[in-house]
Chains A and B, each alone.
Chain A
Amino acid sequence: MKNEQYELNCDLARMLKGGVIMDVTTPEQAKIAEDAGACAVMALERIPADIRAAGGVSRMSDPGMIKGIQEAVSIPVMAKCRIGHIAEAKILEAIEIDYIDESEVLSPADDIYHVDKRAFKVPFVCGARDLGEALRRINEGAAMIRTKGEPGTGDVVQAVRHMRKMNQEIRRVANMAEDELYEAAKQLQVPFDLLMYVHKNAKLPVVNFAAGGVATPADAALMMLLGAEGVFVGSGIFKSGDPAKRAAAIVKAVTNYQDYKMLAELSCGLGEAMVGINPAEIKIIMEERGI
Chain B
Amino acid sequence: MQIAVLALQGDFAEHEKIFHSLNIPTCQLRQKSDLTKDFDALILPGGESTVQGKLLRDLDMFDALRSRIMNGLPVMATCAGTILLARQILDDTTVHLGTLGISVRRNAYGRQLSSFHTKGTFAGIKDIPMSFIRAPQIEFCLPGTEVLAEHEGRITAVRQGNQLAMTFHPELGVDCRIAEYFLKEML
Contacts and interface: CB of A to CB of B under 8 A. Distances in A.
A140 interface: no
B50 A74 contact: yes
Interface residues of B, number: 35
Interface stretch (B35-43, B106-114, B149-157): B106-114
A37 B80 CA distance: 14
A17 B10 CA distance: 5
B178 to A, nearest CB: 16
B48 A14 contact: no
Contact of A251 (B11, B55, B131): B55
B133 to A, nearest CB: 5
Contacts of A121: 113
B169 A11 contact: yes
A151 to B, nearest CB: 23
A256 B117 contact: no
A259 B110 contact: no
Interface stretch (A1-9, A111-119, A162-170, A283-291): A1-9
Interface in B35-72: 46-48, 50-51, 54-55, 58-59
23 contacts: A4-B116, A4-B117, A7-B117, A8-B116, A8-B131, A8-B133, A11-B131, A15-B47, A16-B47, A17-B10, A17-B47, A37-B55, A39-B47, A39-B48, A93-B113, A96-B112, A97-B111, A122-B112, A251-B51, A256-B30, A256-B31, A259-B30, A262-B31
Interface of A: 4, 7-9, 11-12, 14-19, 34-35, 37-40, 70, 74-76, 93, 96-99, 121-123, 248, 251-252, 254-256, 259, 262
Q: When A and B form their complex, which 6 residue pairs have the shortest distance between CB atoms, in order from nearest?
A: A98-B112, A18-B9, A39-B48, A14-B11, A8-B115, A96-B111
